[in-house]
Structure 1
């Protein structure tokens, strides 16, 4: 008779433990968008990797999600306030918003990188690019980085002095600070022969 309560108690404990595990699993699935975490992300980081663990903790941190939402909201306000001007003109407000845009780009790039390390890129179930919203985020981040690199290259190319090729022998002579041989020949004094004066009338009479 004493064994029946123990058996019943063990069954109840097993059921409670099973429900607890199911709740934990459900929380993990909700945190990852309803998909389980892959065993390896980017073919490099396992679930036991300290760096990947840190990325998962940051991405699944509620405060981090709130920060990303506030950043998206601030970015929308900045886009609404920005005033396009013709011929690449600008004002102080636009200049400040352009500087703020780089901060937004850094935050979104960091979010993209952390999620890719945490959940994988595309080849695993529940990977980063298996979510439609993440695809939109990735396209926006990629275009922002591409535009930043393109602007940087254009600025570097614009500040670089353009070499002017020599236009002729005279330019080469000026660069070497030596007169051209043809110029020397032209500047060389031509030897003059004393002119034979024609006999004047007085001389002819003599």
Structure 2
């Protein structure tokens, strides 16, 4: 009896495997033999030359290596950056801040190419259906949002916030408050000394 149960299990697994293969084949036939979705962003079909170029760039092995090296260089730049109080800076920090914009451009380009190639969210294998891509998208979005706010503030003439000054003010109490906590010894003045004599 156990042999018959195992045979049925094997047969069921084979039938299930064949069924899955048929479904996969139907999906491939529906997309013209390509596992990619028929359209991305409701705009680019599989025969669109721009989408073809984006797909070939994203799947190019050298592109993946370049992105990994860029991530590594960005980590090194973050480790080398030396925060200083009161908006002070040095040449290294200024160069690293300008390098940050280059990293933002590279990561934004990667994000855009992958969205055009794979779709944003609606399709199986879409860009935002991968956890690492979600993290990448959030980081790129926050970088672009910060850049846009900085640009708007520069155009409007709003000075940048000074968090170091605010922290210094909140960490040191007002002189009047200090006097209340710590009495200052009184030194007799010259007039008081003359009136006593």
Larger Rg: 1
1:48 equivalent to 2:86? Answer no
Deviation at 1:159, TM superposition (A): 7.2
Write the mapping of 1:45-194 to structure 2, written as runs, cut at 5 A: 45-158=44-157
* Alpha-carbon separation, structure 1, partners of 2:132 and 2:36: 18
Q: Which residue of 2 aligns with 1:177?
A: none
* Alpha-carbon separation, structure 2, partners of 1:153 and 1:45: 32
Give the secondary-structure state (helix, strand or coil) at the position aligned to 1:88. coil
Structure 1 stretches of at least 4 aligned residues deviating more than 2 Å after TM superposition: none
* Alpha-carbon separation, structure 2, partners of 1:145 and 1:88: 22
Aligned residues: 128
Gaps of 5+ in 1: 1-21, 26-35, 161-206
Deviation at 1:126, TM superposition (A): 0.8
> Deviation per CA, 1:119-141, whole angstroms, max 9, x where unpaired?
00001111000000000000000
* Alpha-carbon separation, structure 2, partners of 1:130 and 1:38: 13
**TM-score, structure 2 length as denominator?**
0.62
Superposed CA RMSD in Å reads: 2.0
**TM-score, structure 1 length as denominator?**
0.59
Gaps of 5+ in 2: 1-20, 25-34, 160-197
Q: Which residue of 2 aligns with 1:28?
A: none
